Structures are given as structure tokens and as C-alpha cells.
């Protein structure tokens, strides 16, 4: 039995995924989410009709990027050519990433970390890469934290309002603020970094987790009453999508997580879980007798998988060259399936948001896994090309430096 046959028998092959059925299922979940139903949040950002025509040249903004273990801050503006300039960039530790903080301590730490910038602007852009319930004033109510942030008192607070209040406590000045998440910042960063014309933009994160942002006609956002006519950025939180056929290794991996029935798409594909799926595949292959030599399967992470696919890594695990080849083909097959799932999601959103087939769709792709996992990008582009060409749509991948901060700067263009 080949590695591909082994994966297919366990429902883990790219060939187990039907593109047409998956697209239909994803579009249905999108529609339901925009109506306030179903499992995919489809979060309105209340950032409307943002494009390069909104750029205010020379207007300096305080920029914050809070995510993972790092808290970054800078000053940004658009120069006379409309190019983003990022200055005075500094990186500190994310507040409450190493110890518990009260609400007051959490926001006081944020204000302290940006205090050097406060004399230079009264407008703040805050890329807050944690769950928030966005409000119409482009602020957001903090939801239970992910990524081990230890600040339970912050949950339920308005992150923008509290940040502005903490800054005012330092210098007595009032400020305006816009809150956005990393996929939204990625999309806007790509938009701000090019003067090419596109029919639509997607912001695609494929790293530890995965998510996509796109732009939707407000007439389709039926769960929010009274929206003006226009186009709004939507944070899909598509990691929650549960319409892809799961395989045996997906289910086994998910069962070992704290919430086995949540974030199913993310658990099938993202960097946090993909190595666990590979590990499960190796264990089952050994149980079924597909390895011919001695195996010593131990725990490993996705960096180890990347090294293995590059020709070195997982030392001592397989003693026979045939087993090394079989295991490598398992890894590659699972990467190929992950790429197909990512391409389907991006393809569905590109088709849904494309406004003019004469222009390509811009897919702004960010994330260590996207850029460094061997073969992922090439498989992703191959599948995406197949999907979009069947709808007469072309696309272009955009990448760049400091897109989160550039996108956060772009978001502040909605402020007075």
C-alpha cells in the first residue's frame, strides 16, 4: 500500500475532499453567519469603504500590534507618495503573558508601553489579535482570552475605550482609536502597500492558527440592522467551519484537545495541530504494519516535520530508508490536504467578493507556516488556481514587511 492509499483509506487524503461540495457548504455557512445563524461567526468590523482614496498623507498615528507573546508599538504615517512609513518601532512583552494582571494593571501597562509616542498623535490604531465582539464605533468588547493571557478582569471591557482612558491618565489628552484583528490588518496592509487595482482583497493568516478576512456588501450582513449601503470588512473566524470531511487522524487529534468539537477546520490544517495529525498517522501506520523496519516514534513539532520534508529531521525515528520515504510521503500528503482546504476557503471568499472579473483578486497571505512549511504554498497556489479559473477569476498573492502595522495605519484613516 502506498502512503497516499493509506491516507485515503483513513479519510486523510486531499482526494477525500470534494471541492464543489466544500464550496457549497462554505457559502452556506457564510450566509448563515452573516444572518446571525450557524457556527461561523462572520464578525462585522464596522470598517467600511476603506481604500487608498481614504489615505491622509502626513497624518501621524500611534500603532499597536498585540498578539502572542509580543507587544509592538510604533508611529506611522503615509508619505507624499502614499507609501507607509513606520518609525520608532519597539517590542515588549505582551501584558499578562507571564503573570496575572488586574484590569487596571493591564491597561496601565499598555499606556506605559506607548507613552513615548503619546505626544506625537491623538489617534491610535490597535491590532488586538484576541477575540473581541466589535461595536459600531470600531471598538470591541474583549472575549475570553486565548494564547494564555492572564487577565480575566479584562474580559467584558471595551479595549479601545479603556486604552484611551489609560493614556489620558498619563497626559490628560483625549484620543480616538480603532480596533481590528490580525486578519483585518493583513488585508489592509496589502491594500496600503500596492497601487495596483484589484477586484477584491482577502487577508489570509496561516500560522499557528488560521483565519481569513474579506470585504462584504452591507446588504448581505442581515444580522445588523441599519447599516448604510457600502462594503464592510468581515472577520470570518473560519477556523470554526465544520463542513470539511474529517478523517480518522483528525478525530483522534481533536479528541485530545480541551474542546473537541470546536474549531474543526483549524484543527484539520493549522500549524498548532498539523504535527499532531502527522504523529497520529505514523502511529497508525506502525500499528497496521506499513513500516518494514524498527521505528521509534516520539513527540515532535511542525518545525521537525518541515525539517523532515527538507531531508533532515526526526533523527532516529526510522531506521529503514523505505520507511523514511513512506513517512515523508505521509507528511507531504497531509500538507497537500491542508493546502487544498486553505485554497477552498480562500477560493470561496474570492468568488463571493469578486466585483469585476477583469481584475484579479488580491490574497494577502501571512504566517510562518504559510511561508516555511515545505510545499504548502505551491500546493495552495495550484489548488487555488484550479478553483478560481473555473469561475473565470484570476488572483495575485501579496506579501510585504510589517503588514500588520501598515494595515493598522490604514485602518486609522477612518478616524477624524
Kindly report, residue by residue over 275-284, the tens digit of the pLDDT: 999 999 999 9
Looking at beta carbons, which pairs linking 275-280 to residues 24 or more positions away fall under 8 Å?
275/300, 275/301, 275/302, 275/304, 275/305, 277/12, 277/249, 277/250, 277/253, 277/334, 278/305, 278/330, 278/331, 278/334, 280/248, 280/249, 280/252, 280/253
For 230, the domain range is 3-39+195-398
Work out how many domains the chain is built from and give that number.
Answer: 2
Same domain, 133 and 219: no
Confidence at residue 144, expressed as pLDDT on a 0 to 100 scale: 84
Residue 327 confidence (pLDDT): 97
- Read off the CATH number of the domain in which 262 is found: 3.40.367.20
Band of residue 145 on the pLDDT scale cut at 50, 70, 90: confident
Q: Are residues 392 and 266 in the same domain?
A: yes
Q: Indicate the range of 62-76, 137-151, 204-218, 231-245 predicted with least confidence.
A: 137-151
Cell numbers 486523510 correspond to 12
Residues 200 and 185 in one domain: no
pLDDT value of residue 416? 72
User: What's the confidence (pLDDT) of residue 98?
Assistant: 86
Element of type H or E holding 62: strand 61-67
pLDDT at 70: 85
CATH number of the structural domain spanning residue 117: 3.30.420.40
Q: How much is the pLDDT for 146? A: 67
Shared-domain flag, residues 248 and 146:
no
Residue 335 pLDDT class (50, 70, 90 cuts): very high
pTM of the model: 0.93
Mean pLDDT, to the nearest integer, of 310-316? 89
Average pLDDT over residues 88-105: 94
Mean pLDDT throughout 360-369?
96
Nearby residues of 260 by Cβ (< 8 Å), 6 or more positions away: 254
**Which whole number is the average pLDDT over 254-264?**
89
Indicate whether 24 and 123 sit together in one domain: no
Whether the pLDDT of residue 21 is over 90: the answer is yes
Both 361 and 256 in one domain: the answer is: yes
CA 25, distance to chain mean position in Å, is: 20
Per-residue pLDDT, 147: 62
Q: Are 361 and 249 part of one and the same domain? A: yes
Average pLDDT of the residues in 174-203:
96
Query: In this structure, are 212 and 151 located in the same domain?
Result: no
Q: What is the mean pLDDT of residues 27-50?
A: 94
Q: Report percent pLDDT > 70 for the chain.
A: 99
* E strands present in 338-416: 361-366, 395-398
Q: Average of pLDDT values for 141-163?
A: 89
Summarize the confidence of residues 174-196 as an average pLDDT. 96
Same domain membership, residue 7 and residue 104: no
For position 259, what pLDDT does the model report? Answer: 85
Q: At what angle do helices 271-287 and 321-353 cross, to 10 degrees?
A: 140
For residue 222, pLDDT beyond 70? yes
Residues 230 and 202 in one domain: yes
Taking 90 as the threshold, does the pLDDT of residue 42 lie above it? Answer: yes
Place 131 in a pLDDT band, splitting at 50, 70 and 90.
confident
Q: Look at residue 312 in the predicted model and tell me its pLDDT.
A: 87
Whether 120 and 237 share a structural domain: no
Considering the chain, what is the average pLDDT of its residues?
95
**Residue 87, SS3 per DSSP:** strand
pLDDT at 68: 67
Answer yes or no: is pLDDT of 69 > 80: no
Average pLDDT value for residue range 223-239: 95
pLDDT of residue 309: 96
Same domain flag for 81 and 129:
yes
Q: Residue range 393-409: average pLDDT?
A: 95
Amino acid at each position: 500500500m502506498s502512503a497516499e492509499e493509506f491516507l485515503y483509506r483513513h479519510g486523510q487524503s486531499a482526494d477525500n475532499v470534494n471541492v464543489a461540495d466544500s464550496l457549497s457548504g462554505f457559502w452556506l455557512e457564510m450566509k448563515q453567519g452573516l444572518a446571525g445563524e450557524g457556527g461561523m461567526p462572520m464578525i462585522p468590523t464596522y470598517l467600511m469603504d476603506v481604500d487608498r482614496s481614504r489615505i491622509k498623507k502626513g497624518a501621524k498615528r500611534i500603532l499597536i500590534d498585540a498578539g502572542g507573546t509580543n507587544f509592538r508599538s510604533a508611529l506611522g504615517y503615509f508619505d507624499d507618495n502614499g507609501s507607509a512609513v513606520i518609525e520608532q518601532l519597539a517590542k515588549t512583552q505582551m501584558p499578562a503573558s507571564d503573570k496575572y494582571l488586574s484590569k487596571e494593571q493591564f491597561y496601565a501597562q499598555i499606556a506605559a508601553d506607548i507613552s513615548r509616542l503619546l505626544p506625537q498623535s491623538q489617534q491610535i490604531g490597535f491590532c488586538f489579535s484576541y477575540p473581541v465582539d466589535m461595536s459600531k464605533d470600531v471598538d470591541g468588547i474583549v472575549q475570553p482570552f486565548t494564547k494564555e493571557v492572564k487577565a480575566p478582569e479584562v474580559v467584558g471591557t471595551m479595549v479601545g475605550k479603556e486604552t484611551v482612558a489609560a493614556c489620558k491618565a498619563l497626559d490628560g489628552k483625549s484620543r480616538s482609536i480603532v480596533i481590528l484583528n490580525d486578519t483585518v490588518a493583513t488585508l489592509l496592509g496589502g491594500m496600503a502597500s500596492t497601487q495596483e487595482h484589484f477586484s477584491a482583497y482577502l487577508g489570509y493568516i496561516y500560522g499557528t492558527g488560521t483565519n481569513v478576512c474579506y470585504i462584504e456588501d452591507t446588504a448581505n450582513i442581515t444580522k445588523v440592522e441599519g447599516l448604510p449601503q457600502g462594503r464592510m470588512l468581515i472577520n470570518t473566524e473560519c477556523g470554526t467551519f465544520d463542513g470539511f470531511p474529517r478523517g480518522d487522524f483528525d478525530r483522534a487529534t481533536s479528541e485530545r484537545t480541551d474542546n473537541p468539537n470546536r474549531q474543526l477546520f483549524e484543527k484539520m490544517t493549522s500549524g498548532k495541530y498539523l504535527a499532531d495529525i502527522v504523529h497520529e498517522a505514523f502511529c497508525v501506520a506502525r500499528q497496521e504494519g506499513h513500516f518494514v523496519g524498527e521505528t521509534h516514534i516520539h513527540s515532535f513539532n511542525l518545525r521537525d516535520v518541515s525539517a523532515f520534508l527538507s531531508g533532515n529531521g526526526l533523527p532516529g525515528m526510522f531506521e529503514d530508508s523505505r520507511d523514511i520515504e513512506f513517512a515523508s510521503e505521509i507528511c507531504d500528503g497531509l500538507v497537500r490536504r491542508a493546502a487544498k482546504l486553505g485554497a477552498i476557503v480562500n477560493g470561496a471568499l474570492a468568488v463571493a467578493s469578486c466585483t469585476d472579473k477583469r481584475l484579479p483578486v488580491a490574497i494577502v497571505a501571512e504566517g510562518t507556516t504559510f511561508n516555511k512549511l515545505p510545499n504548502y504554498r505551491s500546493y495552495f497556489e495550484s489548488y487555488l488556481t484550479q478553483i478560481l479559473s473555473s469561475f473565470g477569476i484570476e488572483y495575485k498573492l501579496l506579501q510585504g514587511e510589517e503588514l500588520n502595522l501598515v494595515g493598522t495605519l490604514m485602518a486609522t484613516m477612518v478616524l477624524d
